[in-house]
Amino acid sequence: MKIKSADFVISNSDVAKCPKQPIPEYAFIGRSNVGKSSLINMLTDRKSLAKTSGRPGKTQLINHFIINNSWYLVDLPGYGYARVSKSSKKKFQKFITNFFEQRKQLVCAFVLVDIRHNPQPIDLEFMQYLGESGIPFGIIFTKADKLKPKAIERQVQDYCHELLKTWEELPPYFVTSSSKKIGQEDVLKFIEDTNNEIEDLRKN
């Protein structure tokens, strides 16, 4: 997929105010500092479409972008930051679960994982939640430039091994680096193929 246009649409803290157009939507979520903003900018060939984070956990908004006038890219707040209080954590959870439970056009949630880290309970629990809620998801490993090819392979294998302890099937996964521009084509091709499948289903 060639990125012809990538435009900011709206930021929201209220799911009810998210865009109403019934076009396919792909959400990006992960722990703060995982490299989500950098990834969104890399995928869309833009320098600062998504704002790279100054202070983790500060921007707790649902950000909609429209890509090629045909699909929404949704930048969700990072989770798992240490500095917020318990009550704001709860509020955050509600706000995120509202999003996942109410957005009918959500096609896939990409959970971002730093490739250097071993599987973290917070990410695994989040994937569990998505699975139980019937929301298709994929995994995007970030910062692959930080490891050598052998180590990348090992980390991915270990992650898959961990997932297969609870899942029958592996989700689609992608290895990326925003600084080295790795993985852009793979992720965009997955989105393009999925959009084409949806379009075919709609026609038939």
Alpha helix stretches (DSSP H) within the chain: 36-43, 86-102, 121-132, 149-163, 184-203
Give the contact letters, 65-104, x = binds to ligand GDP (CB under 6 A), - = no.
-------------x--------------------------
Chosen residue from 6, 18, 26, 32 binding ligand GDP by CB under 6 A: 32
CA distance 72 to 159: 28
143 binds ligand GDP (CB under 6 A): yes
Closer residue to ligand GDP, CB minimum distance, 70 or 116: 116
Residue 178 near ligand GDP by CB under 6 A = yes
For residue 109, the tally of other CB atoms under 10 A from its CB is: 24
195 binds ligand GDP (CB under 6 A): no
Residue 175 in contact with ligand GDP, rule: CB under 6 A:
no
Residues 6+ apart with CB under 8 A from 20: none
Residues that bind ligand GDP (CB under 6 A): 32-38, 52-53, 78, 142-143, 145-146, 177-179
